[in-house]
Amino acid sequence: MAVWSPTSYGNPPHLNPLRIFLLETEEISVKIVLLFLTKGGVSKIRIQRCGFIVFLFLFVGAPEGSTGSRSLLLATTTSTQDSGLLDVLIPIFEKKTGYFVKTIAVGSGQAIVMGQKGEVDVLLVHAPEAEKRFIEEGYGVHRRRILYNDYGIVGPFEDPAKIKGMKLATEAFKKIAFVKALFLSRGDHSGTHLKEREIWKAVGVNPEGEKWYQQTGLGMGQTLSVTHEKGGYTLSDRATYLALRKNLRLNLLVEGDPFLLNIYHVIEVNPAKWSKVNAKGARAFTDFLVSKEVQDLIKTFGVDRFGSPLFFPASGKKEEGFGK
Amino acid sequence: MDLILEGMKKAFWLLFTFDPEVLSILLLSLRVSATATLISLLIGITSGVAIALYRFRGRAMVVSLINTGMGLPPVVVGLFVTIFLWRNGPLGFLGILYTPMAMIIAQALIATPIVMGITLAAIQHLPEKLRLQILALGATRLQMVWLLIKEAKLPLLAAVMAGFGGVISEVGASMMVGGNIKGYTRVLTTATVMETSRGNFDMAIALGIILLLFAYFINLILTHIQQREGLR
């Protein structure tokens, strides 16, 4: 009945009897509507009406499901999607293994909560403290380091707080708080937001509720846009900043502090805790990410568009070895 | 300003070159929203007519509930549908979260109260005597209902347009229950949000323009049918 299907992904999707029933119900209900519409038709306008119905009919098909064992739910951060990295990696993985990956791009905080509820199979996140807790509490297994880049403090060209070139993120934050320069926080429990809170904690300043401290509640890209519009400071991961730089009047002012390392880990959701988790698929995906092929791809990703890589491969490396 | 012009240029370029990705996004938007609208018509018109014709206790409350439902926020619908469809949620065994099917369900829930409310108003607006006359001429109940629906054709087509317009332009629920998965549940609105957050404003504007053109085109067809039959 469907004249068009989005794309065929490897193996035919697994259909359970209930879903077939649902799809059939949908088809039948559509048919009843059409019958109803045509039956009462007056011959004069019948042709028009039929044309309209055929038009609708063309696009009404039972949508095919694919949540069987061949599909894999990946919860990840917005930075891996917004930078376009996953658009490169996932098709390769799908072609190789036949899995269909459903990527849900949310903040690391939300991704971890989805993992705790067993709603996803695998996480690709960057919130080390929260990740460790996730593993300790038994929600996840097999946490592996995949890639890293770093955060930087970005701000307007004028730099009212004069933080340009500072070596330590804590010093820069202290200065921003001291001169009460506008600071935009993600405020969405994402990895970046957690990192930012960590820095404030290290500084010993609680910016919550201060006038110069505003929370956007948006993703990194949109927060950068707001920061640009308002001429404030914010903490951003390098990938998103580089990807959006062309639209922004913002400079990267503080970088290179080891405290600002941004490490992404992949975690498989514990199948012993949640029986519906696709453990085999999750393992295949994590194995794929640490493979040499992917690690080499990460090294060169973004160089053509931004002049420098957005991420660095981190599989098997020690944290101390990071940095440029 | 340049950006808008760039976006317009891009929109036409994407349309005329039949860009496969944009085309698939456009077709999925149409498929999901058209199916959702059809389902909402089935439920909305039948129950709307029933509520319009019958008097029962608590009717005022039901009607006011429907009228409130006409402004149902898509994000709230999305949230509830997501919670119900979670793997470990009450309807998790269906396994349809993050599929076009889930989007159709959410959108149908958004459109149904709109269709129901307009149907209710349209049928109630018909003169009471018409109903009596139809029955007096020997029509069965079903025939009477059919004649009433035909009589209220104009506002009912408006209900179709309102319902379809409501779901094709909705982003909150589609994002939540569909997940904006590339090549699978990415529709025009969710793609626009994503391109905006990626900083590809020209692409976002282009998608927005395509959405507007497309909504206009659908409404043009519906208006054509409505006005033709209305003047007869």
Q: Which domains does chain B have, with CATH numbers?
A: 2-13+20-231 (1.10.3720.10)
In angstroms, the separation between the Cα of residue A244 and the nearest Cα of chain B is: 6
Mean pLDDT for A177-197 is 92
Cα separation of B162 and B41, whole Å? 11
Q: Which of A15-24, A103-112, A312-321, B8-17 has the highest mean pLDDT?
A: A103-112
Q: State whether CATH 3.20.20.10 applies to domain A71-149+262-321.
A: no
Radius of gyration over every alpha carbon of chain B, rounded to an integer in angstroms: 20
How far is CA B24 from each of CA A4, A18, B116, B127, B186, rounded to the nearest angstrom? 9, 28, 31, 46, 9
**Contact (CB, 8 A) for A282 and A118:** no
Alpha helices of A123-181 — where are they, by DSSP H? 128-136, 169-179
The answer, yes or no, to whether residue A21 has pLDDT greater than 60, is: no
pLDDT for A151:
94
Share of chain A above pLDDT 70, in %: 77
**Contact (CB, 8 A) for A286 and A268:** yes
State the CB neighbour count (10 A cutoff) for residue A104. 22
What is the 3-class SS of A221-254, one letter each residue? HHHHHHHHHHCCEEEEEHHHHHHHHHHCCEEEEE
CB-based contact A40 B39, cutoff 8 Å: no
Tokens linked to B13 = 């370029």
Instruction: Judge whether A71-149+262-321 and A150-260 match in fold.
Output: yes
Question: Which of A3, A43, A51, A42 is closest to B221 using CA atoms?
Answer: A51
- Residue B107 forms contact with A (CB below 8 Å): no
**Contact (CB, 8 A) for B166 and B147:** no
Q: Which residue of B has its CA nearest to A75?
A: B179
Give A106's contacts in chain B (Cβ within 8 Å). none
pLDDT 10s digits, A194-226:
999 999 999 999 998 889 999 998 888 889 999
B38, B92, B199 member nearest A33 (Cβ): B38
Cα separation of A206 and A201, whole Å? 7
B32, B39, B179 member nearest A102 (Cβ): B179
How does residue A20 score in pLDDT terms, banded at 50, 70 and 90? Answer: low
Question: Which of A166, A202, A163 is closest to A183 using CA atoms?
Answer: A163
Q: What is the dihedral of CA A266, A272, A273, A278, to 10 degrees?
A: 60
Cα separation of A252 and B229, whole Å? 63
CB-based contact A84 B183, cutoff 8 Å: no
In angstroms, the separation between the Cα of residue B28 and the nearest Cα of chain A is: 7
Among B residues 155-174, those touching chain A with beta carbons less than 8 Å apart: none
How does residue A323 score in pLDDT terms, banded at 50, 70 and 90? Answer: low
Give B104's contacts in chain A (Cβ within 8 Å). 26, 63
pLDDT 10s digits, A228-286:
999 999 999 998 898 888 888 999 999 989 899 999 999 999 999 888 889 999 999 99
Q: Which residues contact B145 (CB under 8 A, 6 or more apart)?
A: B49, B53
- Residue B97 forms contact with A (CB below 8 Å): yes
Burial B13-40 (b: 16+ CB within 10 A, else e): ebbeeebeebebbbbbbbbbbbbbbbbb
Cα separation of A155 and A237, whole Å? 13
A150-260: what CATH class? alpha beta
Q: Which DSSP category does B169 fall into?
A: T
- Residue B41 forms contact with A (CB below 8 Å): yes
Question: Which of A73, A153, A83, A177 is closest to A119 using CA atoms?
Answer: A73
The answer, yes or no, to whether residue A65 has pLDDT greater than 90, is: no
The answer, yes or no, to whether residue A315 has pLDDT greater than 90, is: no
Tell whether ipTM is more than 0.95. Answer: no
Report residue B72 CA to chain centroid gap.
Answer: 12
Partners of A266 in the beta sheet? A124, A144
Q: Which residues contact A321 (CB under 8 A, 6 or more apart)?
A: none
Tokens linked to B102 = 């889930």
**Contact (CB, 8 A) for A144 and A315:** yes
Tokens linked to A102 = 């459903």
- From first to last of its 232 residues, chain B has per-residue pLDDT tens of 788 888 888 888 888 888 888 999 999 999 999 999 999 999 999 999 999 998 899 999 999 999 999 999 999 999 999 999 998 889 988 889 999 999 999 999 999 999 999 999 999 999 989 988 998 999 888 899 999 999 998 899 999 999 999 999 999 999 999 989 988 899 999 999 988 888 788 889 999 999 999 999 989 988 888 887 655 5
**3-class SS of residue A172:** helix
On the 0-12 / 13-18 / 19+ scale of CB atoms within 10 A, A232 is buried
pTM for this model (two decimals): 0.80
How far is CA A2 from each of CA A11, B35, B167, rounded to the nearest angstrom? 18, 12, 21
Q: Which residue of A has its CA nearest to B194?
A: A82
- Residue B91 forms contact with A (CB below 8 Å): no
- Residue B34 forms contact with A (CB below 8 Å): yes
Tokens linked to A62 = 């039972």
- Residue B31 forms contact with A (CB below 8 Å): yes
Q: Which residue of B has its CA nearest to A82?
A: B198
Tokens linked to B88 = 């470990």
pLDDT 10s digits, A43-62:
444 545 555 554 454 444 44
pLDDT for B87:
86
In angstroms, the separation between the Cα of residue B29 and the nearest Cα of chain A is: 10
For chain A, the domains span 17-59, 71-149+262-321, 150-260
On the 0-12 / 13-18 / 19+ scale of CB atoms within 10 A, A226 is middle
**Contact (CB, 8 A) for B51 and B57:** no
Q: Which residue of A has its CA nearest to B228?
A: A45
- Mean pLDDT (chain A) is 81
pLDDT for B12:
86
Share of chain A above pLDDT 90, in %: 51
**Contact (CB, 8 A) for A109 and A250:** no
Cα separation of A262 and A235, whole Å? 12
The answer, yes or no, to whether residue A8 has pLDDT greater than 60, is: no
Please provide the DSSP assignment of A193-217 as one string. HHHHHHHHHHHT---TT-TTEEE--
pLDDT for A321:
58
Reported as half-sphere exposure (CB side, CA atoms, 13 A), residue A296 has a value of 3
**Contact (CB, 8 A) for B11 and B209:** yes
